Chains A and B, each alone.
Chain A
């Protein structure tokens, strides 16, 4: 949680300095990491975009994370998607995409496949309360229930979808009340309490895997940060409200108090830990910044399993063009400078 917090602070500033193009912080929702702890590492995760904590929990390295945000030659996604659209095959975390809620029915389908494969794993699917207004949410929960899919739907209800407060998002009793209507076991949990999240996830996983039942979890929390670096949330909510949440109900502080109560943590350890993580993050940051961007060939790969004739022809055309006008393109930034096109 602390690593996530420090990462957010540094990368948010990096965007403000124009060093990366975009960023989304996880401030206030760090306790969601508890859900990753409640899963098996082989369980497949489908996320929305504010779940970097679950990836870190599974072992996504700072380098991997920075490489993605910098779109450099070591980015697993080959520099094709916006920052924070992480993915890891090794860690069973499906690559994030921007369209909201599309991952929810996909999670149901993946869960059905895992059930058929008989390997006793479930699928975890994260989304916000705003995304739950999309048609895909409805489709997904209904299919998961009728097809008995071992999937956990984890809704992060943080009160806002960009500027839209939850009060303008729905009129019912949050997201949890909908689960019952689909015949899905549902629970609402304090989203700032890492242990509560851990416990419900663990119990949900048991229901999903042992009884092939979908489960809906609604974690109530508060989005302390702006929606993204393209958003100034003071335009639609009072700064005091944000400050109050940060001060009075902060998941980091709550866990820290619990640890201190157990005598497992203290001010000194906290400071030491924070400065060592900060150093690690900054090291990874400058390493990622120095790397080349991927080879320009990667612009053309992976559209299909094999490049099609039209794509090959277009690659050839681009090659000729940059040979003709090399000064019009930032070739030196890219691996092989376009020579391998």
Chain B
């Protein structure tokens, strides 16, 4: 088991800042010096576009670090008006309510606070959650709700999930935390053989609908093999589970509350790089966002781009660049949000309109979730497809330390693929 599970996030993100600054400078230089052979545009124009999108104001990065692109993202709601201009919030009672500036860990904390307030049987537990959690997601909850409701467990992932299943099996609400998604595998048996099949195998006599397993996932700049993984596809192959991944604070709160209250076991994967980087105005009230539904972040007519979690910001930038580069190009960007069950209809409708599809995720390509999306869309949209469906994913290697920037499906990889699909 892990030798070191604790990652000092502020340190990670500080290093992250310089890493990204360097990455972008290299990127721009590379583009300038080594033209991509199949480009239809002038490289000079591309260079200027790149520079404009990637250049920050010149001010130093915030101390807690950031994911470049998030702060400038159009999908981050920085005013109350923007935050509440959301059709899904219309009937939730927070449509006209207050909002508060929160980052993602604060929004997750807020959701758990509401869950504990509204459900007397709800408890939060895992490794190191009592003092606030290694990512601060459970900060203050033990003080507010008591040590019998927010508590540390011994260091055992199979025990944590088994314990949560037992609580849920007798009708209670269990919100379990696995410190990093990389360490969810010791609990794989409990999740796949037990939680997922509990209702089915008992003929509906028993169920563990009250179980939610939260876990930080995805790249963080220098997480190496065991602080970077995106294990969603291992779980999307398991009937009976719900798998969710939010892209920011508003979503994290609404989807987490929905997950906790959903009557099925949910694996809630939180891209850890967004914990501090994504800051937006979040409704302070109690609201839920729908599971199993995708969200169209940007409408377009030429190519459908699908992603989830932190990858959406990379895609947003890649699209911005492609649209700038190819005049008249318009890309449609879809955030899947739920990976199991996933919203085939929204993606199929989009591809029937655009005729092209690019799917991107950080997890390795082979048997990754993009394979499922690609096959389903090929089945549903065969006659409308004008180019092969493309995947931009992590490489089929373990997640590497020093090679991270070559490994991840970064903006240049996404940009290049979108362009190739459009030019096919």
A75 at the interface (CB under 8 A from B): yes
> Is B167 in contact with A97, judged by CB distance below 8 angstroms?
no
Segment with Cβ contacts to A, from B52-60, B193-201, B276-284 = B193-201
> Is A75 in contact with B203, judged by CB distance below 8 angstroms?
yes
B209 at the interface (CB under 8 A from A): yes
> Is A95 in contact with B148, judged by CB distance below 8 angstroms?
no
> Is B264 in contact with A113, judged by CB distance below 8 angstroms?
no
Expressed in whole angstroms, the Cα–Cα distance for A146 and B160 within the complex equals: 13
Q: Give B328-382 interface residues, CB cut-off 8 Å to A.
A: 341, 344-345
> Is A146 in contact with B153, judged by CB distance below 8 angstroms?
yes
Give the residues in chain B near A303, CB-CB below 8 Å: 199-200, 239-240
B121 at the interface (CB under 8 A from A): yes
B186 at the interface (CB under 8 A from A): yes
> Is A302 in contact with B203, judged by CB distance below 8 angstroms?
yes
Give the residues in chain B near A113, CB-CB below 8 Å: 121, 166-167, 170-172
> Is B344 in contact with A138, judged by CB distance below 8 angstroms?
no
Expressed in whole angstroms, the Cα–Cα distance for A123 and B167 within the complex equals: 11
A336 at the interface (CB under 8 A from B): no
> Is B158 in contact with A44, judged by CB distance below 8 angstroms?
no
Give the residues in chain A near B170, CB-CB below 8 Å: 44, 110, 113-114
Expressed in whole angstroms, the Cα–Cα distance for A309 and B121 within the complex equals: 31
Q: Give B214-271 interface residues, CB cut-off 8 Å to A.
A: 239-240, 242, 263-264
Q: Could you give, for residues 143-181 of chain B, a 1 whenever the CB lies within 8 Å of some chain A CB and a 0 otherwise? A: 000001001011010110111111111111010000000
Minimal Cβ-Cβ distance residue in A for B344: A309
Q: Give A108-132 interface residues, CB cut-off 8 Å to B.
A: 108-114, 116-117, 123
Expressed in whole angstroms, the Cα–Cα distance for A107 and B209 within the complex equals: 17
A214 at the interface (CB under 8 A from B): no
> Is B344 in contact with A310, judged by CB distance below 8 angstroms?
yes
Give the residues in chain A near B154, CB-CB below 8 Å: 139, 142-143, 146
Minimal Cβ-Cβ distance residue in A for B151: A147
Expressed in whole angstroms, the Cα–Cα distance for A139 and B174 within the complex equals: 17
B206 at the interface (CB under 8 A from A): yes
> Is B206 in contact with A105, judged by CB distance below 8 angstroms?
no
Minimal Cβ-Cβ distance residue in A for B207: A305
Expressed in whole angstroms, the Cα–Cα distance for A26 and B161 within the complex equals: 31
Expressed in whole angstroms, the Cα–Cα distance for A117 and B171 within the complex equals: 10
Give the residues in chain B near A302, CB-CB below 8 Å: 199-200, 203-204
B292 at the interface (CB under 8 A from A): yes
Segment with Cβ contacts to B, from A85-93, A162-170, A185-193, A268-276 = A85-93
Give the residues in chain A near B202, CB-CB below 8 Å: 76-77, 87, 94-95
Which one of A80, A99, A111 lies within 8 Å of B193 (CB-CB)?
A99
B22 at the interface (CB under 8 A from A): no
- Give the interface SS of chain B, mostly helix, strand, loop or mixed: mixed
Q: Could you give, for residues 44-80 of chain A, a 1 whenever the CB lies within 8 Å of some chain B CB and a 0 otherwise? A: 1010000000000000000000000000000111101
Give the residues in chain A near B203, CB-CB below 8 Å: 75-78, 80, 87, 95, 298, 302
Asked, given contacts A111-B166, A143-B154, A146-B154, whether A135 binds B123 with beta carbons under 8 Å apart, the answer is no
> Is A104 in contact with B201, judged by CB distance below 8 angstroms?
no
Expressed in whole angstroms, the Cα–Cα distance for A183 and B164 within the complex equals: 22
Minimal Cβ-Cβ distance residue in A for B193: A99
Give the residues in chain A near B172, CB-CB below 8 Å: 113, 116-117
Taking the closest CB of chain B, its distance from the CB of A124, in whole angstroms, is 13
Asked, given contacts A102-B190, A105-B190, whether A305 binds B162 with beta carbons under 8 Å apart, the answer is no
B63 at the interface (CB under 8 A from A): no
A106 at the interface (CB under 8 A from B): yes
A304 at the interface (CB under 8 A from B): yes
Expressed in whole angstroms, the Cα–Cα distance for A113 and B122 within the complex equals: 10
Taking the closest CB of chain A, its distance from the CB of B388, in whole angstroms, is 24
Expressed in whole angstroms, the Cα–Cα distance for A116 and B240 within the complex equals: 27
B3 at the interface (CB under 8 A from A): no
A81 at the interface (CB under 8 A from B): yes
> Is B163 in contact with A94, judged by CB distance below 8 angstroms?
no
B4 at the interface (CB under 8 A from A): no
B189 at the interface (CB under 8 A from A): yes
Taking the closest CB of chain B, its distance from the CB of A276, in whole angstroms, is 31
Taking the closest CB of chain B, its distance from the CB of A235, in whole angstroms, is 28
B383 at the interface (CB under 8 A from A): no
Taking the closest CB of chain A, its distance from the CB of B228, in whole angstroms, is 25
> Is A102 in contact with B341, judged by CB distance below 8 angstroms?
no
> Is A105 in contact with B209, judged by CB distance below 8 angstroms?
no
Among B121, B162, B206, B345: residue with most chain A CB under 10 A? B162
A5 at the interface (CB under 8 A from B): no
Asked, given contacts A104-B162, A110-B166, A308-B341, whether A143 binds B204 with beta carbons under 8 Å apart, the answer is no
Taking the closest CB of chain A, its distance from the CB of B191, in whole angstroms, is 11
Expressed in whole angstroms, the Cα–Cα distance for A310 and B166 within the complex equals: 29
20 A-B pairs within 8 Å (CB atoms) are namely A76-B203, A78-B204, A85-B201, A102-B194, A105-B158, A106-B162, A109-B169, A110-B166, A110-B169, A111-B166, A112-B167, A113-B167, A135-B156, A135-B186, A139-B158, A143-B153, A146-B153, A303-B240, A305-B207, A309-B292
Q: A109-B167, A110-B170, A302-B204 are in contact. List 13 more A-B contacts (CB 8 A).
A: A76-B203, A77-B201, A77-B203, A80-B203, A95-B203, A95-B206, A102-B190, A105-B161, A106-B169, A109-B174, A113-B171, A116-B123, A309-B292
- CB within 8 Å of B: which residues of A? 44, 46, 75-78, 80-81, 85, 87-89, 94-95, 97, 99, 102, 104-114, 116-117, 123, 135-136, 138-140, 142-143, 146-147, 298, 301-305, 308-311
Sorted nearest first, the 3 A-B pairs with minimum C-beta distance are: A109-B166, A105-B162, A139-B159
